[in-house]
Amino acid sequence: MVPAAAVASDVPELTLRGLSRRDEAGWFEVRAANAEHLRPWDPTPPNRVGVRQTFTAYVKNLNREAAAGRCLPFAVEYADALVGQVHIFGIARASELSGNAGYWIAREVGGRGFATWALALAIDHAFGAAGLHRVEVNVRPENAASLAVVRRLGLREEGFKERYLHIDGGWRDHRSFAITVEELDGGLIQERIRCAP
């Protein structure tokens, strides 16, 4: 099931919510306007053959993955406009209870902490309502903005993954970061943002 909306109290107009078919025009508009901005960070198919699907099929697939408990997909909305997405994907249950986080934010709202807040809200939802124990975030070493996000949230660096994901035409190395429920000691990761210098 698509997760319920969550609002960051320190950024009252920033909301996480499920993506719907009504978002099609806005989603394509923001993705087109940010194509070059996102190109160095977006995963690509290694065989250069993309899976073509309609926006409706994309939303249905996200909803199906959410209903199966394999993904927590969110649209990031600011001032009633879609400005990005954050997902907890690849969720493993049973004795692992973990998932990986991925996100993107439009360039026009970058540098305002929106990616940090969106990731924090998604992690808090994953640890709360979704019952996960661990969330991992993998970042290209060249992605200074995303490295600042994981630092601001105090995620623990776990190592280096060589040729981890196919991005922008090649297999790209990533630095790996993670956090577990125990590291928050019963609190929320959002509280780390409020306490950050």
Q: What is the pLDDT of residues 84-125, one digit of tens each?
A: 999 999 999 999 999 999 999 999 999 999 999 999 999 999
Average pLDDT over residues 139-149: 97
DSSP class of residue 3?
P
CA 21/CA 59 separation, integer angstroms: 7
Residue 175, pLDDT > 60, answer yes
Residue 66, pLDDT > 70, answer yes
Residue 159, pLDDT > 70, answer yes
**pLDDT recorded at residue 2:** 46
Strands of the chain, DSSP E: 6-7, 14-17, 72-78, 81-92, 98-105, 134-139, 156-167, 170-180
User: DSSP per residue over 142-156, as a string?
Assistant: T-HHHHHHHHHTTPE
CA 129/CA 125 separation, integer angstroms: 6
pLDDT tier, 13 (very low <50, low <70, confident <90, very high otherwise): confident
Residue 90, SS3 per DSSP: strand
- The letter for the amino acid at 127 is F
Residue 1, pLDDT > 50, answer no
| Residue-averaged pLDDT of the chain | 91
pLDDT tier, 9 (very low <50, low <70, confident <90, very high otherwise): very low
